[in-house]
Amino acid sequence: MADEQGLTPRAQDFSAWYNEVVLRAELADYSPVRGCMVIRPYGYGIWENMQRALDGMFKATGHQNAYFPLFIPMSFLEREKEHVEGFAPEVAVVTHAGGKELEEPLVIRPTSETIIYAMFAKWVQSYRDLPLLINQWANVVRWELRTRLFLRTAEFLWQEGHTAHASEAEAEEETLRMLGVYREFMDDWMAMPPVLGRKTESEKFAGALRTYSCEALMQDNKALQAATSHNLGQNFARQFELKYQTVTGGEDYAWNTSWGASTRLVGGLVMTHGDDVGLVVPPQLAPIQVVIVPIYRSEEERTQTLGAADQVAAALRAQQVRVHVDARDTVKPGAKYFEWERKGVPLRLEIGPKDLERGQVMAVRRRELEGLARKEPLPMDAVATLVPQRLGEFQRALLEAARRRREENSYRGIESYDRFREIVEGPGGFIYAGWCGSAACEAKVKEETKATIRCLPFEEFRTPEAPTRCLVCGGEAKHEAVWDRAY
């Protein structure tokens, strides 16, 4: 058990460390409803910044936001056989409302393909109505038995994009474009570099033609499926009569895509950057990018340092820096440092009487990273210019550190199944190995090791010398696969 001050070390119990960081950094708390969570203001602030960034990227690619009902008729879900089978164990159903039994049960949205494509069928008549590019920010309910804050809860927040196109080629282009949007967001905003690839048939979204995913490696060397993008083909269009008149005057079914990311990204951020002190938030997503701590002993010093802190804060806000002045009299500076480090604020500026004499502030980064000193004095008159630069340096250093850690914990050219099991049951990590394409070999590994094929990686992530033999059966390898245990 951790004492009142310290966290359980990651190396001792990563799961306990994660839960303690989420709770003590005030990201979320447990709800009275089993399996649900309350997202606290600080955690919601991170999610809001994620939302703003992604929403801007979606709109830049031509998508519009809309909203669809939380309740879906049971008959809608049952129209697509593979879809309903995929979600059946997680579905929550409303059977009574207004004191009466409903004529038809209503499903609480686990995902919205069915109700959205029923509406698309009303809105689309001609090829001129295509493409139809819609995104929804919403909550969904999937009745999980084993839950963890942010990573897997019965109710969670997400965005789900849904589009309709005139051809499979256009739908595939959209599917991959949006996967690229997620990758850009994870690299540039989260500093959480993913590996991209296609899911196997057994791991793809229920009802999809093809599923692609962004797979990130956490510090415990487990994979996190951070976002997915699906080419749904014409499956849902056929079930909901989503047809359009073609250029030549004929009739065809539309081709659909869906793609989504959720509040599990907040959990991914914690597990990618946190340390034994607590949370580390990349500057791009930090609700507070800079905290200023005035240091004083007398009332005169208090007036002087607080005045300087307010001036520095005003200069930083003019540069669009999110800054907070911790002017509390009831908390000592050391306790303030501890609290803001626990919450992962990227940069702390300390201003004491000696700093004022020297015309400087002392800048302290949340983490020491390669090429970046932990502490450095900054000239007071240059803070507004230098702080945004330091935040940018910290953001880039976090990305490089995460990318380096991912590659240091990736194993390539693994041909022996015994060696594979040693890695899975030992340090873990991304294991690149050959796969014959057989569902039986895939299932054997999952049953014996709990590792799954995270994706069949895109070319840029593949091993230069392609594997020739299947890791499991020794037969000819048709694919290189990335294997790992996952959240």
Q: State the DSSP string of 337-355.
A: HHHHHHTT-SEEEEE-HHH
In the prediction, which pLDDT does 79 show? 85
Predicted TM-score (pTM) of this structure = 0.96
Residue partners of 372: CB distance under 8 A and separation at least 6: 365, 393, 394, 397
In the prediction, which pLDDT does 53 show? 98
Cis peptide before 131 (omega within 30 of 0): yes
In the prediction, which pLDDT does 85 show? 77
Give, in words, the CATH class of 285-406.
Answer: alpha beta
What element of type H or E holds 405?
A: helix 383-408
> What is the rounded end-to-end Cα distance, in angstroms, of the chain?
23
Cα atoms in the 13 Å half-sphere on the side-chain side of 174: 29
Q: Give strand pairing partners of 292.
A: 325, 349
In the prediction, which pLDDT does 1 show? 36
Q: Which segments of 107-215 does DSSP mark as H helices, in order?
A: 113-123, 168-185
Q: Give strand pairing partners of 377.
A: 362
In the prediction, which pLDDT does 48 show? 98
* Domain 14-273 in CATH 1.10.1060.10: no
The residues spanned by each domain of the chain are 14-273, 285-406, 410-484
Is-contact 286 33, C-beta < 8 A?
A: no
Q: How far is CA 62 from each of CA 113, 136, 231, 237, 259, rounded to the nearest angstrom? A: 20, 14, 18, 22, 15
Tens-digit pLDDT string for the chain (487 aa): 344 579 999 999 999 999 999 999 999 999 999 999 999 999 999 999 999 999 999 999 999 999 999 999 999 988 876 776 777 788 999 999 999 999 999 999 999 999 999 999 999 999 999 999 999 999 999 998 889 999 999 999 999 999 999 999 999 999 999 999 999 999 999 999 999 999 999 999 988 999 999 999 999 999 999 999 999 999 999 999 999 999 999 999 999 999 999 999 999 999 999 999 999 999 999 999 999 999 999 999 999 999 999 999 999 999 999 999 999 999 999 999 999 999 999 999 999 999 999 999 999 999 999 888 899 999 999 999 999 999 999 999 999 999 999 999 999 999 999 999 999 999 999 999 999 999 999 999 999 999 999 999 999 999 999 999 999 999 999 999 999 999 9
In the prediction, which pLDDT does 174 show? 98
> What is the C-alpha to C-alpha distance for residues 136 and 260, in angstroms, rounded to an integer?
9
Q: 410-484 adopts what CATH topology?
A: Translation Initiation Factor IF3 (3.30.110)
Tokens (6 digits) for 389: 């630069």
> What is the C-alpha to C-alpha distance for residues 156 and 245, in angstroms, rounded to an integer?
38
Residue partners of 91: CB distance under 8 A and separation at least 6: 77, 107, 108, 110, 142, 143
Is-contact 429 484, C-beta < 8 A?
A: yes
In the prediction, which pLDDT does 4 show? 55
Tokens (6 digits) for 158: 């997400």
